[in-house]
Amino acid sequence: MTRPESTREPGPASRRPEEAVRWLEAVTDTALGRLSLEELLSELLVRVRSILGVDTAAILLREGEELVARVAKGLEEEVEAGVRIPIGRGFAGLVASEKRPIFIEDVDHSQVLNPILREKGVRSLLGVPLLFEGGVIGVLHVGTRRRRQFDRQDAQLLQVVADRIALGIEYERLYREAEETSRLKDEFLATISHELRTPLTPILVWVSQLRQRTFDPAHAARALDAIERSARMQARLVDDLLDVSRIIGGKLRLDLRPTELAWVIEAAIEAVRPAAAARDIRIETKLEPRVDVIRGDPERLQQVVWNLLSNAIKFTPEGGRVDVTLQRVDAHLELTVSDTGRGVAPGFLPHLFERFRQADASTTRAHGGLGLGLAIVRHITELHGGTVQAESEGEGKGTTFRVRFPRGVAIRGASEQERAPRGETFARAAPAPLGGLRLLVVDDEPDTCDVLEAVLRGAGAEVRACRSAAEAFAQLEIWWPDVLLCDIAMPGEDGYSLMRRIRAAQGRYGRALGAVALTARTRAEDREKALSAGFQLHVPKPIDGDDLLAVLARVARVAAS
Ligand SMILES: Nc1ncnc2c1ncn2[C@@H]1O[C@H](COP(=O)(O)OP(=O)(O)OP(=O)(O)O)[C@@H](O)[C@H]1O
Ligand SMILES: [Mg+2]
């Protein structure tokens, strides 16, 4: 539509200023009332209508590239019919695109789009844009059945009302958003405290049971398994929270190495096999042989696959199936994880990868978790230059996750030696007895010291434990260990400083010393700091006994060679 022929600027001012102010106050005093937005707008329109002496008043709000009738007086049909006007077309559309008041003296001589205006016999119109921070959020227009020449002051006053209305609408929107954010936050805090407490219950109950009575060995083993499982679960929750906080701070780093995806996938499948077996879920794999080795962080990639598999198992009913494939697709390596489970409702699909978002966050939900897994999956995938998508035909119809890594980063023909050393990263080495090794444990936490001493002695090592860096340094003068197993955060002097002092004095001792930092400080920079202080290995807490023995045996071997 072209510009309406009789459109022109309103005529010269006619009201006295004090009258205008009273008028304005009368119109907008309800703006501060405790009405809902719709009620407020509707009340404003009643006043605009009576004070301006017009027959109709309407507010259209912007939705994308259209204006939608939201509130009207004298033109209620416009709202009921859900009239939509494209921006740039029709009377209201033009007010929006030109962002200024427009006046039509005679509708019959212009191309007004809205049929209801004609049906209601509206003849003259005045419209002003609803502006917020320079953008158009809608249009306010008034109309009369008899022909009328709106003047400039009418337009100015209507614009002032429109500005208030625009503010009201934006505040309402921000308020709703804040309310939603705060609701999500409350929900999340409730979930997190629930999830962190859940594994504590079996731990505490079993521990008190074990203390109170003597169980037969099978029973005791079951209790210990349950304790271990719960502790691991909790450690994973904390890891996930830390990962997400690293992601938010842009601090998640990859340790890139030539990596065989097929191997990463198999390792992740091994890790979830017990959970799948417990629920009678079959895992079928189809991994294309000899796909390229890519540059990646095998542990992080395993986390991606593990999360997808855990979800597939968690959200699939007993007796279901999970299929895992890896293949070359054009320029990509594509990994899919599909399940026959409960699927994802179309409305939730776009939110799947948002952190803390779960289809069911209620207290009665059937599944645990914090809603972090997929956010971590997406971030790690993207750090590798890849993409991840979810597909589901709908609820009850299963879900497929598709992860793609560009083959551009693939390292074709990487030599065997260059490839990720299999046993090192993932396979849990067989418990290695430490017969004859001398180990010095340094940790300010008495419980940790005790349990480490017990585990290491049990493996045949000769162990001494110190509670501080100073004590450890003194101990070295009289008793030289093969390996030092040291905490980092300790009151007084920390593990970094102890290690530096030992390495500086090492020439004087003239003997090899393996050193392992065992610490709850698990960020990449903590690891770098530990290595540069002189530790050979940085091992994040918690670590289980078998892994610890394997690590110590390895470090002792390296130190001795
Ligand atoms: N395979 C799947 N089938 C159906 N729904 C899924 C599947 N995977 C994820 N979802 C939905 O997406 C949500 C987010 O998944 P995500 O892995 O991020 O969190 P979570 O599994 O609930 O908790 P967490 O992974 O932190 O333990 C889930 O709560 C679930 O609603
Ligand atoms: Mg998950």
Residue 109 is predicted with a pLDDT of 79
Ligand 2 center to 319 CA (angstroms): 20
> What is the number of other CB atoms lying within 10 angstroms of the CB of residue 98?
14
Strands 66-73 and 84-86: what pairing?
antiparallel
Ligand 2 center to 358 CA (angstroms): 9
Whether 5 has a pLDDT exceeding 60, the answer reads no
Alpha carbon distances (Å) from 283 to 214, 265, 280, 334, 450: 39, 12, 10, 18, 41
365: confidence class by pLDDT, cuts 50, 70, 90: low
Residue 416 is predicted with a pLDDT of 34
> Looking at residues 13-40, what average pLDDT do you find?
60
Pocket test for ligand 1, best of 198, 353, 358, 393 (most atoms within 8 A of CB): 358
Ligand 1 center to 187 CA (angstroms): 16
Say if 257-425 and 438-560 have the same CATH topology: no
Expressed in percent and rounded to 5, the helix, strand and coil fractions of the chain are 50, 20, 30
Give the lowest-confidence range in 290-299, 413-422, 477-486, 506-515: 413-422
> Could you report the per-residue pLDDT of 353-362, keeping only the tens digit for each?
988 788 876 6
Residue 10 is predicted with a pLDDT of 39
Q: Which helix (H) or strand (E) holds 475?
A: helix 469-478
Whether 503 has a pLDDT exceeding 80, the answer reads yes
Check residue 322 and report its DSSP letter.
E
- Residue predicted with more confidence, 405 or 20: 405
Cα 167 off chain centre by: 31
SS3 per-residue string spanning 367-383? CCCCCCHHHHHHHHHHH
- Residue predicted with more confidence, 471 or 223: 471
Q: What is the assigned CATH class of domain 438-560?
A: alpha beta
* Count, residues in the chain: 561
Residue 546 is predicted with a pLDDT of 79
Ligand 1 contact, 315 CB (< 6 A): yes
Closest by CA position to 355, among listed 231, 214, 247: 247
Q: What CATH number does the domain located at 17-176 have?
A: 3.30.450.40
Mean residue pLDDT across the chain? 83
For the chain, the C-alpha Rg in angstroms (whole number) is: 35
Q: Which is the closest atom of ligand 1 to the Cα of 240?
A: 26
Residue 52 is predicted with a pLDDT of 86
Question: Burial letters for 4-31: b for 16+ Cβ neighbours within 10 Å, e otherwise?
Answer: beebeebeeeeeeeeeeeebeeebbebb
Opening angle at CA 457, ends 455 and 463, nearest 5: 110
Domain 257-425 in CATH: superfamily? Histidine kinase-like ATPase, C-terminal domain (3.30.565.10)
- Residue predicted with more confidence, 381 or 511: 381
Residue 290 is predicted with a pLDDT of 76
> Could you report the per-residue pLDDT of 55-82, keeping only the tens digit for each?
999 999 999 999 999 999 988 888 888 8
CA-nearest residue, atom 13 of ligand 1: 358
Q: Which is the closest atom of ligand 1 to the Cα of 312?
A: 1
- Residue predicted with more confidence, 212 or 428: 212
Residue 246 is predicted with a pLDDT of 82
> Could you report the per-residue pLDDT of 451-477, keeping only the tens digit for each?
888 888 888 899 999 999 999 999 998
Per-domain residue ranges of the chain: 17-176, 198-248, 257-425, 438-560
> Looking at residues 310-339, what average pLDDT do you find?
95
Whether 418 has a pLDDT exceeding 50, the answer reads no
Closest by CA position to 236, among listed 540, 552, 538: 540
Q: Is 418 helix (H, G, I), strand (E, B) or coil?
A: helix
Ligand 2 center to 373 CA (angstroms): 4
Whether 409 has a pLDDT exceeding 60, the answer reads no
Ligand 1 contact, 42 CB (< 6 A): no
Q: Is 240 helix (H, G, I), strand (E, B) or coil?
A: helix
Residue 436 is predicted with a pLDDT of 84
Ligand 2 center to 121 CA (angstroms): 60
